[in-house]
Amino acid sequence: FGVQTNKPAQCKIDFKLTEGYEEMAYYFGESNLFDYNHTQRLNIPNKRAIEALVQSQNDSLDETTGIFIENNNQYDLYVRCTSANGYYNPDPYVVSFCVDDGPDATPPQIVETSIRNNQPVQFEVDEVPIIVYTNEPATCKWSRTDQQYDKMENEMQCAKSIADMEANMLYPCKGTLTGLEDRKDNKYYFRCEDQPWAKEDERIKMTQSYVLTLKGTQPLNIKEDSIGPEANEVVTGATSSVEVNLALETENGYENGKAECYYSTDNDNFVPMFETNSHTHSQRQDLTQGEYNYYFKCVDLGGNTALGQTNFKVFVDTFAPAVVRVLNDANRLKIITDEDATCYYSVNENTECNYEIGNNTVAQLMPHEIQDEKNEHFAVWNIKDNYYIKCKDENDKQPAPTQCSIIVKPEDLVEEEE
């Protein structure tokens, strides 16, 4: 049963009429969330079931045994709800009901299980513990084939008394499911019989099986060459802390590599990656200059685990590129920088070095002859011009606005006569 409120509220319920909201014992539906709809489940045996259990144990209904029936199995439950501001209804809402004394004419029901249906299972695990929860005390069995209760081969350890109800208002039956096979669906069939204290001809069996499917999986692995930064890579930046993107991909396992991945710097304390729960995973780190080792652990829904690691260096680039050589290469001006760079030159005597790199109206790009050799730069050779050259690297380090990387004045080379 449930209640609905006209605004988000937190609700409580109690068998006793208390003075206020705070004194009430239980959250409605075991939830302390502020919501509009609130649902509560109760599982109460009727008078006949209580009396039958007591008789089967040669006990009596009294306070010495701790088993007794109040108000002839009629109940009043008191409900109060409070808003986020602390206002609640002083007069409780009362839910009144009774439990029918008639004989039990229905079989037990399996309401939930400790492992959800279609749950994946770790690779090469061939047995798992299981708990099935019934709505009344029962005895249960399981089988790999759908058959009658009496023919099922595997018995379970079940709660057989109404006093064995757990916090979820249900009765547990425990067992171990065996014979799990990898890479395929494994079906298990459950049936139960109620009233363990009753005579056999008075008990009611389930005529339809509760079916639970467990999915066998395959190993999870980290995709080859997917971890970044790569081993021994140097990550450069121009600021005191450099952005480093940790990344990797998972495959196989359950759902084609879908997993939760974690990272660690000590291979002990692992932290969830920011972008994960997929087959691709990433995490930003802002690191100072130094050497780093990172460890990765990925786990899919079936419990399959994949491990990986990488090591890399972080280099903080604080200097603009320097020109280390100037050449006449086949009647072309060629300069070589001490790192990969982009260089521009201007021959404008009015602006000289005072221009912005990339401003094509004032300066011209010095192209690379071979794209993989980005530290070599070329321009036309003209002895009439002064070349005001400015270079910047991949981290945008460059000379001050009015300074050049180098000023070059070409000259004719005259061979001396012997």
> What residue spans define the domains of the chain?
2-99, 110-216, 221-316, 323-413
**Would you list the DSSP string of 326-361?**
EEE-SSEEEEEESS-EEEEEE--TTTTT-S-TT-TT
Number of C-alpha atoms within 13 angstroms, CB side, residue 99? 18
Q: What is the largest CA-CA distance in the chain?
A: 133
The tens digit of pLDDT for each residue in 279-329 reads 999 999 999 999 999 999 999 999 999 999 999 999 998 889 999 999 999
Phi/psi of residue 66, nearest 5 degrees: 80, 5
The tens digit of pLDDT for each residue in 101-144 reads 777 788 999 999 999 999 999 999 999 999 999 999 999 999 99
Give the per-residue pLDDT at 53.
67
Q: Is the pLDDT of residue 66 over 50?
A: no
Give the per-residue pLDDT at 414.
61
Mean pLDDT confidence for 2-12: 94
**Would you list the DSSP string of 179-200?**
---TTSEEEEEEEEEE-TTS-G
Give the per-residue pLDDT at 99.
81
The tens digit of pLDDT for each residue in 163-192 reads 788 878 899 999 999 999 999 999 999 999
Mean pLDDT confidence for 10-28: 93
Reduced to 3 states, what is the DSSP secondary structure of residue 54?
helix
| Same fold? 221-316, 323-413 | yes
Q: What integer best gives the mean pLDDT of the chain?
A: 91
For the sheet with 323-328, list strands across it: 323-328, 332-337, 376-380
Give the per-residue pLDDT at 62.
52
Q: Is the pLDDT of residue 47 over 70?
A: yes
Is 379 in contact with 348 (CB distance < 8 Å)?
no
Give the per-residue pLDDT at 59.
54
Calculate the dihedral angle through the C-alpha atoms of 294, 295, 300, 302, rounding to the nearest 10 degrees: -170
Number of C-alpha atoms within 13 angstroms, CB side, residue 400? 2
Give the per-residue pLDDT at 65.
46
Is 40 in contact with 4 (CB distance < 8 Å)?
no
Mean pLDDT confidence for 335-351: 95
Q: What is the pTM of this model?
A: 0.70
110-216: CATH number:
2.60.40.10
Calculate the dihedral angle through the C-alpha atoms of 371, 376, 381, 387, rounding to the nearest 10 degrees: 120
Give the residue, 394 or 56, on which the prediction is more confident. 394
Give the per-residue pLDDT at 44.
76
Tell me the β-bridge partners of 65.
Answer: none
* Architecture (CATH level 2) of domain 221-316: Sandwich (2.60)
Calculate the dihedral angle through the C-alpha atoms of 266, 268, 271, 272, rounding to the nearest 10 degrees: 120
**What does the block give as tokens for 321?**
């590129």
The tens digit of pLDDT for each residue in 209-239 reads 999 999 999 999 999 999 999 999 999 888 8
Q: Which residues of 126-152 are buried (b: 16+ CB within 10 A; e: fewer)?
A: eebebbbbbbbbbbbbbbeeeeebeeb
Mean pLDDT confidence for 54-79: 65
**What does the block give as tokens for 322?**
């320097």
Distance CA 104, CA 196 (A): 13
Is 179 in contact with 126 (CB distance < 8 Å)?
yes
323-413: CATH number:
2.60.40
